[in-house]
Structure formats: C-alpha cells, structure tokens
Structure 1
Amino acid sequence: IALWKRNGSWFCTTGIARTTHIIKPGIPTLPHQAFNEHITMRIVEAMGIPVAHTSFHIFDGVPAIISERYDRIVSANGTVTALHQEDFTQALGIPSSLKYEEHNGPTSNAYAEMLRKHGLPGQAESNIRAFTDGILASYLVGATDSHAKNYSLLLDGASVRLAPLYDLASVFPYLGHGKQIINATLAMNIGGRRDLLQLRRKHLERFAQRMGLDVESVILRFHTLVDRLPEAFDSTVQPAHDVIASIGAQEFIDSYRKRIMMVYDDAMSWMASRKGQ
C-alpha cells in the first residue's frame, strides 16, 4: 500500500501526486513476518550497510512494516519529488520472471558487469562493493530472498548509485534445529555456493574474482561484517524489548539469534583456521 504521509497523517494520492511511504502487512503464514523484515533491516543497518528506513506498526490488529521511500525528496512545504529508480531486472532489460538465478536468471557477476559499464567516473567500483555488501549481509542474516528485484539503482543524469537495501527478511526464525539450517539457500550464489553455513574462503575468492574486485579486500570486508554481526543483532533487538513482549515474539527472537550465532561461529571457525577452505 503506497501512501503519502503529511504531518503525521496518511493520505491516498491521485493524479501526479507522489507517495512517500509503503506499508506492507505481514504475511499471515509466517509468524511475525512484518516485524522480521523491520528488525532484519535494522540489523543490517547496524552492520554499517545503507538500508531503507523502516518502522513497525500495528494497524487495527494487523502488523505491518512501514518503509520510507528513498526515491523521494520531500521539500519543506510538503512537495514530493520522485527520483528515477530501476531495479536490476529493469536496468538489465530482462523480465521480472528471471529475478532468480535458479530460474535461469543472471548471476551476480552479470549485474556487476552492468554496474561497471554505467555511472560517473569512480561510481562503478563503489556500486559493485555496495552490491557485494548486500549479498554478504544477506548470507549473514539469512535473507535468502534477496533476488534481482530487491536491488535497485537511483539514476540522475549520468550518475548511477546503488539504492539502499530493502525487503530484507530472515529465514532463520522459521528453520528447524541444528544443521537443518543448511536447507535454506540464497537467491544469489557466493562463488558458486548458495547454502547457508557452507561458505568458505575459496567461495569468497571465486566471488571476488567474478565481481572484478580484489580478493583480499572482499575477504577482509566479510571478516568485518562477521565481527559486527552479534553486536548488530543485540543492539537492534534490545531497544525493541517492549514491542517483542507485546506481540509475543520472544521465542521468535531467540530462534533468530540462535541461528545468527550459528552462522557467526561457523564463519569465525573457518576464518581462524590457516586454510579456511
């Protein structure tokens, strides 16, 4: 539901009037899905990666995530200007049905090549690194549905910038116990690997090479994100304690953290080994 927010009130728009926010009710078959998406977005932001600003709200008993549109500029008098945005399938000129690799869609290196060909001098590598961050963060928080339509570009003349990340939600709270976690697979592979808990140095090396980036810089970036993961989770969840209690989501959060720590421990284990293969 796309709406215009003005002075704390919500409005539908008509004609050429622009909306400022998107309100998405949670998916009924997935417990706490709207809160999941909101908290996952905030965890990734706490890891130092730009994401769309979100909030969580319950409308007449219906939980929803409210996402502030990053492709809008709101002036002091309330005038809303739209920025030109294209998701990756639009930018590459392919149908949305090809947004997943597993459905014969392009792989991440094809999108990296697209980014390399467009934008102002110096923007290409910055955009590719930001895209790489998104893929690595999706692995770490279990956001397995980060397909090509969940990455977008902001276009302004010759300028091309990767948009903040959006639509990130974790599968971790919904998975079984122990190693059953590996049944979840990423929308975009990392060096040929899509299974959670199976990423190793060789996959990061292959991933960096395919993205056209320095291998050691990508591995260092992954190490940095891994180091930040537990604190990012805890610092995000702790202020939301009252909300978690009010919606009865403590077991959900405990399950989420348990699997976050499984990914963290797995990554720390192979990074600490000499080979890390």
Structure 2
Amino acid sequence: MAHELAVWLFEECVGTLAMSDGRLNFAYLPEWLSRANAIALSASLPLRAEPFDDAKVRPFFAGLLPEGQLRRLIAQQFQVSDQNDFALLDRLGGDCAGAVALLPPGHALPDSAHDAQVEWLDDKQVIAILDELPRRPMLAGRDGLRLSLAGAQDKLPVVFDGERIGLPRDGTPSSHILKPAIDAIDAIDAIDAIDAIEDSVINEGFCMALADAMQLAVAKATIHTISNRSFLLVARYDRVVDGQGHRMRVHQEDFCQALGVVPEMKYQNEGGPDLAQCFELVRRVTRPNAPQVLRLLDQVMFNALIGNHDAHGKNFSLLYSAERANHAAVLSPAYDLLSTAVYPELTPKMAMKIGSKYKFSEVQARHWEQLAESAGLSKPQTKKRLLEFASALPQTAREVQAGNARLFVGNALVGRIIELIEQRCEQTIRRFSLAAE
C-alpha cells in the first residue's frame, strides 16, 4: 500500500497526505500556495508552507470517513485496521464530502466536464444495493467505486437524474445521497444499536419538509419507494451544475473538522463543540456573518423544538461557494434532521447544551438567555425569534402533514412527532410567560 496520497480540491492537486510510523501528516504543494486564489482545505488547516502533524491533520481527514459499525465493516472488507485512517482513505477517498478527493500519486481526477461515468441501475439492482449496504457500507470494494461520507448511518453517494439512480464510477461526482431506513443507530449515550428505528425515512422526510416550510435553508430531500422499500434521496448541496450542464464539486467541511475536533469526540459531553463554539466559528469565518449567525440560531431552535437530540458538531457544516469572493464560507443548508425524541428507547440528552441543560424538559427561559449570552446574541432578539418560531411551528407541521397526504396523513409516527412539537412549543412559550411575571 502506498504511504502517500495526493489531495485534490476543485479538480486540482493541492497537497500530499502521508503516513509515517502510523501517523499522518499533510503539506500543501508550493504551487498551490503560490496561487492568488488558493484556499485552505479547512479552517483548521490554514495555508502555510510547513507540514501539519497528526494532531492537526486527523480531525479533517478522519472526518471524511464513515464512523462506528460502518467503519468497522469497511475495514473488515479491506482487511485493514479500523483505526487506520490512511488505509481507509486510500480505498474510499475518490468522492468525499465537499470538493476533496484523495488519489494515488500520479493519478489524475477525471474531468467532470468530459469523463463522467455512471453505472445506471434498474429497480431490481437498487433493491439489491439496499440489501447489500448493511453488510457492505459504501459498497466498499466494488470495482470502480471509491466513495466516502461521514456519519454512523448507512448512506450511499449516487447520481440521480430525476428518473434513474446510478453509481458514480472512477471519481465521477455524485449528485445525491441515498439514505435507506435505519436498521441500527449509534445513539447518543444510549445503546450501541437498536432494531429498526421506526419509519426513519418518513421521520427524516417529514422533518426536512417541515424545515423547508419554516423557510430554513435545507437540503432538498424526497422519499422514494421501490417494491415497498422506502428510502430518501437527498440532493447534495456540495454539488452544483454549471452552465454547460456539468456537475461540479463545491467545498464544505463540518464544524468538527473546522474546529479541529476528531469525529469520535463529536458530542459536547465527550469534549466536542458546544453551541458557543459553533456560533463563534460562524462569526469568525463567514462574511457578512450576521445573516449566517441568525441562520444557525434558526437551525438550533428547530432542532430543539422537533426533538433532534443528535444535532452534534458534525451535523452542521460550512460551505465554501466558488461564486463568493475568495470562496468565503457560508453556513450550509440544514441536513440530517430527525426527531430522535419521539423514540423512547433513545437518550433524552441533547448533543449540545442549551444554556447549562442537556435535557429539553429542563430548559427554562433563563437557559435560552444563557445560550444567547454565550453565543454573543441579543437576549431580547433571541427571545423574540424563538417565540415566533414556537408559535408558528405546530400549525406549519399540520400543514406539511396535510400537504402530502399520501405519505404523512394517517402515519402514526408523524402524528407523534407533531404532538411532541406541540408540547415543546407550548412548554417554551409558557416558560417565557412565567419568567416575565
């Protein structure tokens, strides 16, 4: 196995990732540093001539890889240690989140304008892949596929043209993420795995549609069914189509990568990011930052009120748009929106505290004020925005349910999610009213 990988960004080689004595290091290429429009891979890996050591490198590059049981299964498929980030990147790094790809030295990334290769699938083949993913995450080891996405849930980068689903081969950029029903989940401080999270596809599909109806920027997600097997197709916000119809990569990184936090410490109670750090990051790296800070506040409020307790540091990202001056960062659209609180088997603890509280049932008006203060937000404006949100969310949820009768009307889980939202919104409004007396 090679001990160096070429790191590509926007279809250009920008540096070298190497492994020596079991430790990673990364260095930018001099020719990349000399370019006037050069950008950094990460806020945690700024442009400089000196190499970065393992402690600096691992949060970003390990953050490109699947986690938990998925990572272990992939490592078994390739007969490598599941602790060997380099070996896994060597085998999976052809199409990662953002505009990053890792290739053996001397290999070129395919020209997305001319060399796109897609293996189109019929319905039977899609079902076969849904059956295969729990045993072979990312279809690891299949010829011509080197695909990687972070997270502990089964998912697969695919190409979707509005009718057909295909596999992106030989470095071709994917357009969507296929997310099957969750069979097992690494739950927050709960249990390593539980059998089938009930109707996870409907749950996430509804929560994503609700976020859109609340006018949050959110990744477009649609529910598809083949032979009674449902799955989500989520349009990748880190892929765009240019004027000639060619799919191009857009760079992104999650908050753990940007803050230099390794993925296994993504939860606040493990030493991962807290909300104050998240707001400080957005304020520091986005321009103009005021609209982005408010977008982050909206995402935090939405997650709290729908009961998404798994909103950790890797479920928020920065997007480096090629259309903005100097590739300035913006907050990415919301993604991975799931009401975990509706499942009594899962922990009631939120991934990040609101004020000093991990449990939403314990959050009082003063804890939202603590959050506002620690995040550098105006307390009155935060209160006003939260109460507007809590007032509008229940009715909007009912409208989303009624607006897609085929999927949501009569679905017991959607009904329970709406009841939970109503309870949380009513509780929030009541506690601010009591605090004002």
1:3 aligned onto 2:158: yes
Match of residue 235 from structure 1: 399
1:259 aligned onto 2:259: no
1:137 aligned onto 2:298: no
Segments of structure 2 that go 5 or more residues without pairing to the other structure are 1-155, 184-195
Question: Aligned-pair distance for 1:260?
Answer: 1.5
**Structure 1 CA distance for aligned equivalents of residues 278 and 235 of structure 2:** 25
**Structure 2 CA distance for aligned equivalents of residues 195 and 137 of structure 1:** 15
1:82 aligned onto 2:249: yes
Equivalent residues of 2:309, 2:339 under 8 A apart: yes
Match of residue 52 from structure 1: 219
Equivalent residues of 1:108, 1:189 under 8 A apart: yes
**Structure 2 CA distance for aligned equivalents of residues 78 and 17 of structure 1:** 14
Equivalent residues of 2:286, 2:330 under 8 A apart: yes
Change (3 A) 1:14 1:108: same
Question: Aligned-pair distance for 1:3?
Answer: 1.0
**Structure 2 CA distance for aligned equivalents of residues 272 and 44 of structure 1:** 26
Equivalent residues of 1:3, 1:11 under 8 A apart: yes
**Structure 2 CA distance for aligned equivalents of residues 138 and 10 of structure 1:** 30
- Aligned partner of 2:203 among 32, 36, 43: 36
Match of residue 280 from structure 2: 113
Question: Aligned-pair distance for 1:230?
Answer: 0.9
1:250 aligned onto 2:411: yes
1:61 aligned onto 2:228: yes
Match of residue 149 from structure 1: 314
Question: Aligned-pair distance for 1:171?
Answer: 2.2
TM-score of the superposed pair, with normalisation by structure 2: 0.58
Quick one: which amino acid aligns to residue 161 of structure 1? V
Change (3 A) 1:27 1:166: same
Question: Aligned-pair distance for 1:274?
Answer: 4.9
SS at match of 1:31: coil
More helix by share: 1
User: Equivalent residues in 2 for 1:110-259 (5 A)?
Assistant: 110-120=277-287, 122-123=288-289, 125-156=290-321, 157-175=326-344, 184-244=348-408, 250-259=411-420
Question: Aligned-pair distance for 1:76?
Answer: 5.3
Question: Aligned-pair distance for 1:137?
Answer: 0.8
SS at match of 2:374: helix
Quick one: which amino acid aligns to residue 148 of structure 1? G
Equivalent residues of 1:18, 1:80 under 8 A apart: yes
TM-score of the superposed pair, with normalisation by structure 1: 0.89
Quick one: which amino acid aligns to residue 297 of structure 2? T
Match of residue 21 from structure 1: 176
Question: Aligned-pair distance for 1:65?
Answer: 1.2
Structure with more contact order per residue of length (Cα contacts < 8 Å, sep ≥ 6):
1
Query: Could you give the per-residue CA deviations for residues 196-237 of structure 1, whole angstroms, max 9, x where no partner exists?
Result: 233222111110111111111111110111011111211111
Query: Could you give the per-residue CA deviations for residues 51-77 of structure 1, whole angstroms, max 9, x where no partner exists?
Result: 111011123332211100111111354
Quick one: which amino acid aligns to residue 3 of structure 1? V
**Structure 1 CA distance for aligned equivalents of residues 415 and 327 of structure 2:** 46
Equivalent residues of 2:202, 2:407 under 8 A apart: no
Quick one: which amino acid aligns to residue 365 of structure 2? R
Query: Could you give the per-residue CA deviations for residues 35-54 of structure 1, whole angstroms, max 9, x where no partner exists?
Result: 10010111122222111110
Question: Aligned-pair distance for 1:243?
Answer: 2.1
Quick one: which amino acid aligns to residue 129 of structure 1? L
**Structure 1 CA distance for aligned equivalents of residues 308 and 256 of structure 2:** 19
**Structure 2 CA distance for aligned equivalents of residues 265 and 116 of structure 1:** 31
SS at match of 2:405: helix
Match of residue 149 from structure 2: none
Moved more, 160-169 or 8-17: 8-17
> How many equivalent pairs are there?
266
Question: Aligned-pair distance for 1:7?
Answer: 5.1
Question: Aligned-pair distance for 1:174?
Answer: 2.1
**Structure 2 CA distance for aligned equivalents of residues 131 and 264 of structure 1:** 19
**Structure 1 CA distance for aligned equivalents of residues 181 and 314 of structure 2:** 19
Query: Could you give the per-residue CA deviations for residues 106-158 of structure 1, whole angstroms, max 9, x where no partner exists?
Result: 211112222222233x22x3222222211111110001111111100011435
Change (3 A) 1:271 1:197: same
Quick one: which amino acid aligns to residue 433 of structure 2? A
